[in-house]
A = this chain, B = another copy of it.
Amino acid sequence: MTVTQTHTRTVGDVAAEAGVAPSAVRFYEQHGIVRAERTRSDQRRFDESAACRIRVAKVAQRVGLTVREIADVFAGLPADPQPDDWGRVADHLIAEAEARTAALKSYLADMCSGARLCELPDRAGR
């Protein structure tokens, strides 16, 4: 019978799959974006979700999330995430992106509508 190997990808494999440098893959592992097992000779082996996590992380960075924040969101992902696991992560990321955009819009709207432009109270954090 076939035993499904979950951790079959090397650093180079994941890097190629995700479109980043191998050094970036190691960096993301150090920072909790991806996890790896080790072979007997200490080489990293990633599962099939690794490239996916990295691709998602790259897009999430573009909306202002830090690697730390993305790692925190990914912390809710089980090994071998299923579609609904990804769905929850997606919802979370999208909500965060929209909240930040909403904060921007709100701040700009207040500013532009203020009688005295630029002399608004400090609501930047809201």
Q: A residues touching B (Cβ–Cβ < 8 Å)? A: 2, 4, 6, 17, 19, 48-49, 51-52, 55-56, 58-64, 81, 83, 86-87, 90, 93-94, 97-98, 100-101, 103-105, 107-109, 111-112, 117-126
Look across to chain B and name the residue whose beta carbon is closest to the beta carbon of A6.
Answer: B121
A51 to B107, CA, bound (A): 14
Look across to chain B and name the residue whose beta carbon is closest to the beta carbon of A60.
Answer: B104
A102 to B104, CA, bound (A): 15
Stoichiometry (number of copies): 2
Cβ contact within 8 Å between B111 and A105: no
CB<8 Å pairs between A and B, sample of 18: A2-B125, A51-B118, A51-B119, A52-B111, A52-B119, A55-B111, A59-B104, A60-B104, A61-B64, A62-B104, A63-B101, A86-B118, A90-B108, A90-B109, A90-B112, A97-B101, A97-B105, A101-B101
Task: Give min CB distance, A7 to chain B, whole Å.
Answer: 11
Which residues on the B side are within 8 Å of A2 (C-beta)? 125
Which residues on the B side are within 8 Å of A124 (C-beta)? 19, 55, 58-59
